[in-house]
Amino acid sequence: MMGFVDRPSLWIARRFSFAPKRFRIINAISAISFAGIVVGVSTLLVVMSVLNGFQKLSSELFLTLESPVQMISLDSPGFKVDDKLLESLRRIDGVASIEPYLEGEAIMAGKGKNELVILKGLTPKAEQRLMRISGRQKPLFSTPHSISAGEFLAYRTGLYQNSTLSLFSPELIRLSLASLSQPYILSALRIPEVQVSSTFTLQKLFDDRFVLAPNTLAREVLLLGSDEFTGIDIRPLDGVSGKELAKRLRASEPPNHLPEGTRFRTLEEKYSDIFSVMELEKWVSFGVLMLIVLVASLSLTGSLAMTAIDKKRDLFSLRCLGMDSGGLMGIFMMQGALTGIAGTAAGVGIAWTICKAQEMFGLVRLPSKSAFIIEAYPVSMETGDFLAVALAAILLSLAVSIYPARNAASIARSQSLAMKSI
């Protein structure tokens, strides 16, 4: 293997790449190969960065109401939260804030329209944070028994400000059926009457299915105890990702300090169906657009094979000077690698320039401002994507150089045998 990458092979490969050739078509094919790699790499990186931008935007929209990491119960609607548990979570490195919350399914009934919704309870601190993020001036709730409905949900069900409706847990239906055989339960059952104080718009999923309420009301609707919560929202410090914080929480907190049947869940795990589709779309694009690089690399095979025929006298001279087959193969392997590295470097540079310009100036606008919450295509450049694309392009260039390299070694060997027979 070392014979393929020695200094003489590298020097000769550089000479063969830039030296004039008898057939001009070889230079044309080499230029097409180089340009194809540049275009393929730059296009692939720009597309992946745009998809990363949409994924990042989606995460930011989810984080208006959710948190990057949540502590949840596995087998029960809620679990008890005390000061000792909250303090133990605050002490973990990377935790910025924690907020217990209530969340669950509820049935909203009013004006003859019934709707299964997701009820989310907010603490006063969480309500202030949501108002700050959304730029809202007025409070979400006018009274302790008022709610705020998603804009799409309100439009679909005909809700308006100050309208009254019933909000109850599906568990209440089961308890009502049980009261037929146990009448003493019936007196304890009560369907809360609530008032719509406002509507909100955050993200399509939230706007279409979510109802927000104060924690006191949410606890009453979800039939939970005074010290029970559905989960705990945990937000990291700046510079700490949700996945990294989840690892720290799982590693730092001994299991016996946690309530039984609880675990930590990231935002991507909670909405895995959405984020997995976005990740799949990204890597399918990677596979499809790598075909551009593959076609360019295959044209590089033809260019190197024709160069071997054009330089057969030089190859014979090198053979006579003592260069073995490994060294001769190394020349063309290095020539293919140099083309791949140069094309990849140029493609990476062009992609970085385009993405940076789009990030700073928003050069390419979205087709309709009214249909999107942003004006220009978002981009997010990730080092891992750049490394993966660069490595794949260079390895592909090396792989397609194997055949012409073997062909060059056989040409030099057959030429030397022919000269010996004279």
Q: Quick one: pLDDT at residue 357? A: 96
CA dist list (Å): 197 to 64, 101, 155: 20, 20, 14
Query: Domain boundary residue among 231, 260, 289?
Result: 260
One domain, residues 179 and 291: no
**Comparison of pLDDT for 420 and 403, the residue scoring more:** 403
Same domain as 256, residue 226: yes
Residue 389's pLDDT is what? Answer: 95
- Percentage of the residues of the chain whose pLDDT score is greater than 90: 47
| Residue corresponding to tokens 């087959």 | 325
The dihedral sign for the CA sequence 227, 228, 230, 235: positive
Nearest-angstrom CA–CA distance, 125 and 186: 36
Distance CA 14, CA 18 (A): 6
Please list, in sequence order, all residues whose beta carbon lies within 8 angstroms of the beta carbon of residue 301, skipping any fewer than 6 positions away.
400, 401, 403, 404
Q: What is the pLDDT of residue 344?
A: 95
Rounded to whole angstroms, the Cα distance separating 89 from 249 reads 8
What average pLDDT does this structure show over 180-187?
A: 48
Joined tokens for residue 3: 């014979």
Q: Single out the residue of 9, 12, 6, 28 nearest to residue 306, CA to CA.
A: 28
Beta bridge partners of 262: 73
Task: Please give the tally of structural domains in the chain.
Answer: 2
Same domain, 135 and 36: no
Q: What pLDDT score was predicted for residue 401? A: 87
Same domain, 33 and 143: no
CA 190-193-197 angle, 5° bins: 155
- Indicate the range of 73-77, 188-192, 252-256, 281-285 predicted with least confidence: 252-256
| Whether residues 320 and 216 fall in one domain | no
Using the 3D structure, point to which of 211, 235, 260 is the last residue of a domain. Answer: 260
Picking from 205, 231, 260, the residue at the C-terminal end of a domain is 260
Residue 70 lies inside a defined structural domain of this protein: no
CB contact at 8 A, 99 and 89: no
> Is position 287 within any domain?
yes
For 98-136, how does the pLDDT look when each residue is reduced to its tens digit (9 = 90+)? Answer: 999 999 999 998 776 789 999 999 999 999 999 998 888
Q: Which amino acid is at 392?
A: A
Whether the CB-CB separation of 163 and 99 falls below 8 Å is answered with no
In a domain, 189, yes or no: yes
Percentage of residues of the chain with pLDDT beyond 70: 81
The bridge status of strand 210-214 relative to strand 146-150 is antiparallel
| Same domain? 240 vs 93 | yes
Q: Is 122 helix (H, G, I), strand (E, B) or coil?
A: strand
What is the distance between the alpha carbons of residues 64 and 132, in angstroms, rounded to a whole number? 10
Put simply, whether the predicted model's pTM sits higher than 0.85 gets the answer: no
For the CA atoms of 236, 238, 241, 247, what is the dihedral angle to 10 degrees? -50
Q: Same domain for 160 and 220?
A: yes
Task: Select from 117, 28, 88, 14 the least CA-distant residue to 334.
Answer: 14
Cβ atoms within 10 Å of 28's Cβ, excluding its own? 11
Residue of 68, 134, 69 whose CA lies nearest to 148: 134
Strands 228-229 and 210-214: unpaired
In a domain, 320, yes or no: yes
Specify the DSSP element, H or E, that contains 130: helix 124-134
Residue 257 has pLDDT above 70, yes or no: no
Separation CA 283–CA 52 (nearest Å): 11
Q: Residue holding tokens 């960065």?
A: 49
The answer to whether the Cα torsion of 248, 235, 63, 158 is positive or negative is: positive
**Closest Cα partner for 193 from 241, 155, 157, 145?**
145
> Is 102 contained in some domain?
yes
Phi-psi label, residue 162: left if phi above 0, alpha if psi -120 to 50, beta otherwise: left
Question: Length of the chain, please?
Answer: 422
343 vs 9, 43, 393, CA distance in Å?
A: 20, 13, 9
CA distance 265 to 275: 14
Distance CA 311, CA 317 (A): 10
The answer on 103 and 45 residing in a single domain is: no
- Fill in the DSSP letter of residue 374: S
- The whole-number average pLDDT for the span 75-87 is 88
Asked if the model's pLDDT at residue 387 lies above 90, the reply is: yes
- Quote the tokens at residue 134: 């959304």
Residue 269 counted as domain residue = no
pLDDT tens, position by position, 260-319: 788 999 999 999 999 999 999 998 999 998 988 888 888 888 877 777 766 677 766 767
Same domain, 122 and 19: no
Longest Cα–Cα distance in the chain: 114
Same domain as 373, residue 279: yes
Question: From the CB of residue 131, how many other CB atoms can be counted at a distance below 10 Å?
Answer: 15
Task: Give the confidence band of 74 by pLDDT, cuts at 50, 70, 90.
Answer: confident
3-class DSSP state for residue 239?
A: coil
**Highest mean pLDDT range out of 256-260, 292-296, 370-374, 418-422?**
292-296
Asked whether residue 61 carries a pLDDT value surpassing 50, the answer given is yes
Its domain, for residue 178, covers 76-260
- Provide the 10 A C-beta neighbour count for residue 290: 18
